[in-house]
Amino acid sequence: MTSSILSRRAIENERLLPTLSLSALVVTILLILVGSIVRVTGNGLGCPDWPLCYGQAIPPALTGAWVEFSHRLVTGAVSLLIVSVAALAWHSYSERKWIFRPALLALGLLVTQIGLGGLHVIMENPPETGLLHTGIAMMIVGLLAVVAANASLAAREIQTAGARLFQDNRFVGLVSATAVALYFLLMTGSFVTRSGASLVCPFWPACGANPEALSWMVNAHLLHRYTAYTIGILTIVIAVWMFRQRAIGIFKRYATALIILLTLQISLGIGNVLLRIPMWTRALHLTVGATFWVAMVGLWAIVMTQRAGKTESIDV
């Protein structure tokens, strides 16, 4: 009887983790979108104090205050989900390192991120803490992608379909390098935005003439562009490599999703320049970039788990 109850609880936990981890991942990406909206609308100090807003638990009837406070509300939802994922990982997945370790690390970074967010407000949004805030946010969403990928029922299908490809060291190195480059791209993009270099190259694909005094800003902007071009090439190679496998279903849909995200991200980047950085392209550019990063990290996690010979996706 006791054995039957324990077995039933184990199955329930294995069914719960995919839903819980995916929910945490989706809501965290939503938080990135909300944070981006707060920044591009100039409401980063809509609540000038922290953790209260104008000294109140509920903000006054001011548009800027509620725009900024919405970010805090979504942060609360994200926090609850990440704590739940970490608690479940601690309770039921301590022997599965590809779930247990990233779940706990995401929780640790969340605590750091919340403290940094408060400091960012108190210091009146300096670019240095803003850049660090973005960097930690991307680490958290990447760790959640690792957990969600290894908790997903679809992960096993991808691992089975790509078993031969995933043992190729060249493919593994390519996916790993692209994931690292994507994180670097997100950070250079954040630096370009926060340093005021977004329109220092006002044309595309050429940069255009600029005063010599702005050379460092031009270099930063071009570094971001060239990194994006490099990632575009690497992603196309990965997708083509996946399309060439004798596999159907979610395996090829994953490759298609990578191409779609790449196309959207590059289009939004070009739109930022040609349309003179309207709010909607700026907000979506970071959000799609974060989603692209999640997709690449998820693929990397699935590949690495399969190579280790430990399929940690759910087997009900």
Give residue-wise pLDDT tens across range 260-272. 999 999 999 999 9
Range with lowest mean pLDDT among 17-21, 93-97, 139-143? 93-97
pLDDT reported for residue 11:
53
What tokens were used for 139?
Answer: 């680490």
Please identify which residue in the block is written with the tokens 């704590």: 83
Q: Given pLDDT bands bounded at 50, 70 and 90, which one contains residue 3?
A: very low
pLDDT the model gives residue 213: 67
Does residue 41 surpass a pLDDT of 50?
yes
Q: Using CA atoms, how far apart are residues 265 and 93, in angstroms rounded to an integer?
A: 35
The model's confidence at residue 7, banded by pLDDT at 50, 70 and 90, is very low
Query: What does the alpha-carbon distance between residue 143 and residue 149 come to, in Å, rounded to a whole number?
Result: 10
Q: Which position has the higher pLDDT, 26 or 118?
A: 26
Task: Extract the tokens encoding 177.
Answer: 């390098």
pLDDT value for 247: 75
Query: What does the pLDDT average to over 217-234?
Result: 95
DSSP-assigned beta bridge partners for residue 53: 56
d(CA 273, CA 311): 44
pLDDT band at 6 (very low <50, low <70, confident <90, very high): very low
Query: 272-303, pLDDT tens digit by residue?
Result: 999 999 999 999 999 999 999 999 999 999 99
| Segment (H or E) for 255 | helix 250-274
Contact yes or no for 22/149 (Cβ under 8 A): no
